[in-house]
């Protein structure tokens, strides 16, 4: 797999883990599950499948310094910086363009910087399978085996069986469905044909550009101009000039939903998008009372509480409480019922409306 590259999309914001995640401290920089930041863990788990010079990172320029400091083994030129946020379709195209300029035979797996994966060898095995299948010209999505009828994820429907690679069954994909309502999600699960869209997929660089060219010709024209300048002194100026012309659009909407030769490999490697405090709760180890204490050197004293997550760097005392998520930062405290963590985004909206930007 000497032409295989990982492209980590590390630009996301996200405030569903407020008050810990903030505008200048998004999820990927937080040590949510393991002791290192989500981004650092995302890099570490790629070894030994990808040598450091085969790992690329695309992110907003504002995060460059933090990301480089967090992954010093990745060559500086592998950090592909967006001059401004243009959503995921342009970000992925830019990353692919830089890699393909340096290795036109590249196969690239698009990865996230802020998801948890429990079974790391299983994850790498799935990436190796996706590489092989991508050689056929397919866009190979990793579909997560669903464990409940979530309305929070997109779904991928599988079609005909294609082959088995490294023990994993590979299927033709019958397409993407956006986040369904509850009855539809229940149907999806009952059918047994659907996986969750993890946002992770592998493709050859020329397969990627075939689809961008076909579906997003204007964007692709700008990307081609930028690609020509990669690794030349003109790059910063050319990037700045063309980047601003590109529309904001997500990769699912711009490319994936109507792409040809889609395949899906259903996987089950303990994936979580850690998209809410309760999702984090589910992936952390609980003590015998169901309690969890996280943070850098947190002190916790508890008297008869249960199923309560404390995330803090300071002293937190819990007495006789159940099913809570308690998060303390320097300037705010969140106390939220475990089943209500989706409402954190409502709080962030209220803070925006009240122009309390110091909390965002």
Is there binding between residue 232 and a second copy (CB under 8 A)?
Answer: no
Q: CA–CA separation, 310 vs 293, rounded Å?
A: 5
Is there binding between residue 202 and a second copy (CB under 8 A)?
Answer: no
The residue written with tokens 């309305």 in the block is 151
Per residue, what are the HEC states of 147-183?
Answer: CCCCCCCCEEEEEEEEEEECCEEEEEEEEEECCCCHH
Which two three-digit tokens encode residue 327?
């998060």
Q: How far is the CB of 343 from a second copy (least distance, A)?
A: 5
Q: CA–CA separation, 94 vs 204, rounded Å?
A: 14
For a second copy, the closer of residues 103 and 323 by Cβ is 323
Is there binding between residue 290 and a second copy (CB under 8 A)?
Answer: no
Is there binding between residue 352 and a second copy (CB under 8 A)?
Answer: no
Q: How far is the CB of 58 from a second copy (least distance, A)?
A: 33
Q: How far is the CB of 352 from a second copy (least distance, A)?
A: 12
x/- binding map, residues 85-104, to a second copy, per CB under 8 A? --------------------
Is residue 132 within 8 A of residue 93, CB to CB? The reply is no
Is there binding between residue 350 and a second copy (CB under 8 A)?
Answer: yes
Is residue 6 within 8 A of residue 55, CB to CB? The reply is yes
Is there binding between residue 284 and a second copy (CB under 8 A)?
Answer: no
Q: How far is the CB of 295 from a second copy (least distance, A)?
A: 12
Stretch in the footprint of a second copy (CB under 8 A) among 151-159, 236-244, 245-253, 334-342: 334-342
For a second copy, the closer of residues 36 and 323 by Cβ is 323
For a second copy, the closer of residues 142 and 280 by Cβ is 280
Is residue 344 within 8 A of residue 334, CB to CB? The reply is yes
Q: How far is the CB of 325 from a second copy (least distance, A)?
A: 9
For a second copy, the closer of residues 1 and 315 by Cβ is 315
Q: How far is the CB of 316 from a second copy (least distance, A)?
A: 5
Q: Compute how many residues bind a second copy; rule: CB under 8 A.
A: 34
x/- binding map, residues 292-331, to a second copy, per CB under 8 A? -------x-x-x--------x-xxxxxxxx--x-x-x--x
Is residue 308 within 8 A of residue 322, CB to CB? The reply is yes
Q: How far is the CB of 41 from a second copy (least distance, A)?
A: 27
Is residue 30 within 8 A of residue 37, CB to CB? The reply is yes
Crossing angle for the helix pair 88-102 and 217-229, to the nearest 10 degrees: 40
Is there binding between residue 287 and a second copy (CB under 8 A)?
Answer: no
CB contact burial 130-154 (16+ within 10 A = b; e otherwise): bbbbbeeebbbbbbbebeebbeebb
Stretch in the footprint of a second copy (CB under 8 A) among 99-107, 128-136, 287-295, 344-352: 344-352
Q: How far is the CB of 152 from a second copy (least distance, A)?
A: 17
Q: How far is the CB of 360 from a second copy (least distance, A)?
A: 11
Binding to a second copy in span 4-23, by CB under 8 A: 19
For a second copy, the closer of residues 289 and 314 by Cβ is 314
Which two three-digit tokens encode residue 250?
């997500």
Angle at 346 between CA 12 and CA 307, to 5 degrees: 90
CB contact burial 9-28 (16+ within 10 A = b; e otherwise): bbbbebbbbbbbbbeeebbb
Binding to a second copy in span 113-172, by CB under 8 A: none
The residue written with tokens 């790391």 in the block is 120
Return the SS3 of 318.
strand
Please, what is the end-to-end C-alpha distance for the chain in angstroms?
Answer: 42
- Residues found near a second copy in the complex (CB under 8 A): 19, 299, 301, 303, 312, 314-321, 324, 326, 328, 331-337, 339-341, 343-344, 346-347, 350-351, 356, 359
């Amino acid at each position: 797999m000497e032409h295989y590259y990982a492209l980590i999309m590390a630009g996301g914001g996200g405030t569903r883990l407020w008050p810990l995640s903030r505008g200048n401290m998004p999820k990927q920089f937080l040590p949510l599950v393991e002791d290192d930041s989500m981004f650092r863990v995302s890099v570490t788990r790629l070894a030994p499948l990808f040598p450091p010079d085969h790992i690329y990172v695309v992110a907003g320029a504002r995060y460059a310094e933090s990301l480089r400091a967090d992954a010093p083994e990745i060559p500086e030129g592998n950090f592909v910086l967006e001059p401004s946020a243009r959503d995921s379709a342009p970000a992925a195209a830019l990353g692919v363009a830089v890699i393909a300029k340096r290795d036109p035979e590249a196969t690239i797996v698009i990865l996230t910087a802020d998801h948890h994966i429990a079974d790391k060898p299983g994850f790498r095995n799935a990436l190796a399978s996706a590489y092989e299948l991508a050689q056929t010209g397919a866009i190979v999505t990793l579909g997560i085996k669903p464990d409940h009828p979530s309305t929070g994820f997109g779904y991928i429907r599988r079609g005909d069986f294609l082959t088995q690679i490294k023990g994993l069954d590979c299927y033709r994909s019958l397409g993407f469905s956006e986040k369904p309502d509850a009855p539809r999600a229940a149907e999806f699960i009952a059918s047994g044909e659907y996986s969750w869209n993890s946002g992770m997929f592998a493709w050859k660089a020329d397969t990627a550009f075939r689809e961008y060219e076909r579906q997003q010709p204007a964007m692709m024209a700008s990307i081609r101009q930028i690609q020509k300048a990669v690794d030349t002194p003109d790059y910063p100026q050319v990037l700045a000039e063309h980047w601003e012309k590109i529309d904001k659009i997500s990769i699912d909407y711009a490319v994936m939903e109507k792409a040809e030769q889609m395949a899906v490999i259903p996987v089950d490697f303990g994936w979580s998008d850690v998209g809410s405090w309760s999702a984090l709760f589910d992936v952390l180890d609980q003590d015998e009372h169901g309690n969890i204490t996280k943070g850098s050197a947190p002190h916790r004293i508890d008297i008869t509480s249960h199923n309560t997550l404390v995330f803090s760097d300071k002293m937190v005392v819990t007495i006789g409480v159940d099913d809570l998520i308690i998060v303390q930062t320097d300037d705010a405290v969140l106390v939220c019922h475990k089943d209500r963590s989706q409402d954190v985004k409502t709080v962030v909206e209220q803070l925006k409306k009240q122009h309390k930007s110091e909390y965002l």
